[in-house]
Amino acid sequence: MELHVPEQPVVALHGSDVTLNCSFNQTVPFNLSDVSVFWQLTDTKRSVHGYSKGHDQLVDQAEAFANRTSLFPTQLGMGNASLRLSRVLVADEGSYTCFVSAQGYSSAALLLQVAAPYTKPVLTLEPESNLRPGDEVALTCIAYRGYPEGDVIWQDGSGRNLTDNITLSVVANEEGLFTVTSVLSVVLEPNSTYSCRIINPLLGEEGFGFATISVPTLSFYWSLMVLSYFLPPTMPPCL
Mean pLDDT for 89-103 is: 95
- What CA–CA distance (Å, rounded) separates 133 from 152? 26
Amino acid at 18: V
End position of a domain, from candidates 82, 115, 148: 115
**226 plus 152 within the same structural domain:** yes
Instruction: Give the angle 20-23-25 at the CA atoms, nearest 5°.
Output: 170
Over residues 17-73, the pLDDT tens digits come to: 999 999 998 766 678 888 999 999 999 999 999 999 999 999 999 999 999 999 999
pLDDT of residue 156: 87
pLDDT of residue 32: 82
Instruction: Look up the pTM and report it.
Output: 0.83
Whether the pLDDT of residue 235 is over 60: the answer is no
Q: Cα dist. 94→88, 165, 200 in Å?
A: 12, 35, 19
Over residues 98-116, the pLDDT tens digits come to: 999 987 889 999 999 999 9
**10 plus 65 within the same structural domain:** yes
Count: domains in the chain: 2
- Evaluate whether residue 239 is within a structural domain: no
- What CA–CA distance (Å, rounded) separates 17 from 35? 25
Structural domain range at position 188:
122-230
- What CA–CA distance (Å, rounded) separates 176 from 44? 20
Whether the pLDDT of residue 238 is over 70: the answer is no
Residues of the chain with pLDDT > 90: what percent?
58
**133 plus 171 within the same structural domain:** yes
**184 plus 208 within the same structural domain:** yes
Q: Cα dist. 120→23, 28, 115, 210 in Å?
A: 40, 55, 16, 12
Over residues 129-158, the pLDDT tens digits come to: 777 778 888 999 999 999 999 999 998 888
